[in-house]
């Protein structure tokens, strides 16, 4: 699987238009002894969500479709039992 590269300071990855792929954000270092209580995903663009899951330290989203050459913004906001809220954003470029 391809790896993320920073584009204008935002982690960015390419996804083939016909693929359904999973993307995981790992908050282990940021959380310390805290855990993820809930996640909220926001997608800007034509990519669709096939599934999303979480563990105590990670959040994973499965993305499908999209419009060729479009850059879609994916934002995941976690909430912890201690009341901490943290958003993370990455971009997905839809390719042939």
Element (H, E) at 94: strand 85-95
What is the tens place of the pLDDT at every residue in 15-27? 999 999 999 999 9
Q: Where are the domains of the chain?
A: 15-66+73-89
Cα gap 27→22, rounded to integer Å? 16
| Per-residue pLDDT tens digits of the chain, which is 96 residues long | 568 999 999 999 999 999 999 999 999 999 999 999 999 999 999 999 989 999 999 999 999 999 999 999 999 999 999 999 999 999 999 999
DSSP string, 24-43: EEE-HHHHTT----EEEEEE
Cα gap 50→27, rounded to integer Å? 22
Categorise residue 94: left if φ over 0, alpha if ψ from -120 to 50, beta otherwise. beta
**pTM beyond cutoff 0.85:** yes
Which CATH code, of 2.30.30, 3.20.20, 3.40.50, 2.60.40, is assigned to 15-66+73-89? 2.60.40
What is the number of other CB atoms lying within 10 angstroms of the CB of residue 42?
Answer: 11
């Amino acid at each position: 699987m391809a790896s993320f590269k920073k584009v204008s300071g935002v982690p960015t990855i390419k996804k083939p238009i016909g693929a359904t792929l999973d993307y995981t954000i790992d908050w282990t270092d940021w959380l310390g002894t805290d855990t993820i209580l809930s996640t909220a995903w926001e997608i800007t663009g034509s990519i669709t969500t096939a599934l999303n899951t979480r563990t105590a330290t990670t959040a994973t989203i499965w993305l499908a479709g999209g419009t060729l050459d479009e850059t879609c913004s994916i934002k995941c906001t976690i909430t912890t039992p201690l009341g901490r809220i943290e958003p993370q954003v990455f971009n997905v470029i839809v390719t042939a």
